């Protein structure tokens, strides 16, 4: 998929359409507490799943794509918390820094002869300084570093989860915090492998490396400005206390208003923990993938490390289970049904089956024509016995008065016929 298309889809259109639909459906789901809890759990698990998988990805665009899935999880958490204005704020903020990341990733791929494997890049900070700056700004905003655009919505979502003071809210807080740590780690892993580490691409690729054209530089510059300042400028408009920006378009039940609690009543450690964890994870990624790059190689060479890498790189092996069991099982079931119905039951009871039955019946009847007189006499006797049985069956099988009257009528009729003869 072309990178501008990826930026458009992941940032503002197709991916976010479902979350926007949930926001607009707020008058319906606000009165379904079970629905809200389910949405929050789906969001928390989705965010954790995507972030844990993103740690072990090697494709440049795939790393950014998994960050999109993770941010969609945050949006679902926010919808489950009934904070639709915060969710919409994060959706808009996410559009800016995610479009910036995708377009900058496309600039790197174009400059390096369509190479997307981060393990085969490196040292590009000297060749693509502006693109490096754009990816750094987008990554910092994605990590919710204080006072960048992503901080004003993502950090608030995590705080709102803790402010629920319920098990589901606490679980969403811790999953969201761990997800933020993972996001910081794989973001700086990407930066380290692509820009800061020792060059790993062929020399010919570096000889032709250059910054993108002005048609790409200008959008990157504009998106960088929005990724830095938009959250600060518009925070009060979207999530400010007393703001009536959305009027009646978003409905929040009065019992679900926890914004004041999240802003002013939480312990300072609860507020700082996501940011501190993200900072520590970023420093760890810089340490591992610059000065000690062999640690990652040693990890994947061990049997346990290889299994862990395969599990998370393969998205919890969901595709393997789906393809080997669900898809194969479904195809086998379809083949069995087709074999039994199309080539079995339908053929037996359909035109082919009817013609076969009639043909076989005719052949069996033809076998009765033996040409022997005693056989014909036997057929006549059997027919006469069958006729007598049909006439007197109601009497033999039913002893009611009606049957007795029927017998008398048949007997009298027989006498009349004999007398006439």
Mean pLDDT, 10 residues at a time, the chain of 421 residues: 77 83 91 93 96 94 94 95 93 94 94 90 92 96 94 94 91 96 96 91 86 92 96 92 82 86 89 95 90 61 85 89 87 80 64 73 76 76 74 60 61 56 47
CA distance 213 to 316: 39
The whole-angstrom distance between residue 46's C-alpha and the CA centroid of its chain comes to: 9
Q: State the DSSP string of 216-263.
A: HHHHHHHHHHHHHHHHHHHHHHHH-TT--TTTTSS---GGG--HHHHH
Nearest partner of 279 among 151, 374, 367, 172, judged by Cα: 151
CA distance 38 to 33: 9
Please provide residue 59's backbone torsions phi and psi, each rounded to the nearest 5 degrees: -85, 130
pLDDT of residue 232: 94
Per DSSP, the three-state class of 117 is: strand
pLDDT of residue 421: 47
Identify any residues that bridge with 117 across adjacent strands, giving them in sequence order: 59
Query: Where do the structural domains in the chain lie, given as residue ranges?
Result: 3-313, 322-420
Using CA atoms, how far residue 162 sits from 155, 175, 294, 365, 375, in Å, is 11, 11, 39, 86, 96
């Amino acid at each position: 998929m072309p990178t501008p298309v990826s930026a458009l889809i992941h940032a503002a259109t197709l991916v976010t359409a479902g979350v926007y639909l949930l926001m607009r459906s707020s008058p319906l789901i606000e009165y379904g507490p079970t629905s809200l809890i389910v949405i929050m759990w789906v969001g928390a698990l989705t965010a954790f799943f995507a972030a844990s998988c993103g740690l072990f990805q090697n494709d440049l665009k795939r790393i950014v794509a998994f960050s999109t899935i993770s941010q969609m999880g945050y949006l679902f958490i926010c919808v489950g918390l009934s904070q639709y204005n915060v969710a919409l704020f994060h959706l808009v903020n996410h559009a800016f820094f995610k479009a910036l990341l995708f377009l900058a990733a496309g600039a790197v791929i174009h400059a390096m002869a369509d190479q997307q494997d981060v393990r085969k890049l490196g040292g590009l900070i000297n060749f693509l300084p502006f693109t490096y700056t754009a990816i750094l700004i987008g990554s910092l905003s994605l990590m919710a570093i204080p006072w960048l655009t992503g901080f004003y919505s993502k950090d608030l979502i995590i705080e709102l989860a803790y402010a629920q003071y319920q098990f589901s809210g606490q679980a969403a807080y811790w999953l969201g915090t761990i997800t933020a740590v993972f996001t910081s780690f794989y973001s700086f892993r990407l930066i380290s492998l692509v820009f800061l580490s020792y060059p790993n691409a062929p020399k010919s690729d570096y000889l032709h490396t250059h910054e993108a054209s002005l048609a790409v530089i200008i959008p990157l510059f504009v998106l960088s400005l929005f990724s830095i300042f938009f959250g600060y400028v518009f925070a009060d408009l979207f999530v400010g206390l007393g703001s009536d920006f959305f009027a009646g378009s978003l409905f929040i039940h009065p019992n679900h208003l926890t914004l004041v609690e999240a802003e002013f009543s939480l312990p300072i450690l609860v507020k700082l923990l996501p940011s501190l964890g993200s900072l520590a994870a970023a420093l760890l990624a810089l340490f591992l993938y610059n000065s000690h790059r062999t640690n990652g190689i040693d990890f994947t060479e061990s049997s346990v490390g290889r299994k862990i890498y395969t599990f998370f790189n393969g998205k919890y092996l969901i595709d393997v289970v789906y393809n080997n069991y669900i898809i194969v099982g479904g195809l086998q079931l379809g083949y069995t049904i087709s074999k039994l119905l199309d080539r079995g039951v339908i053929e037996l009871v359909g035109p082919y089956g009817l013609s076969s039955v009639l043909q076989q019946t005719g052949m069996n009847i033809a076998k009765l024509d033996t040409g022997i007189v005693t056989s014909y006499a036997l057929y006549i006797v059997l027919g006469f016995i069958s006729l007598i049985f049909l006439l007197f069956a109601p009497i033999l099988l039913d002893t009611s008065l009606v049957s007795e009257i029927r017998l008398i009528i048949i007997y009298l009729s027989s006498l009349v016929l004999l007398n006439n003869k």
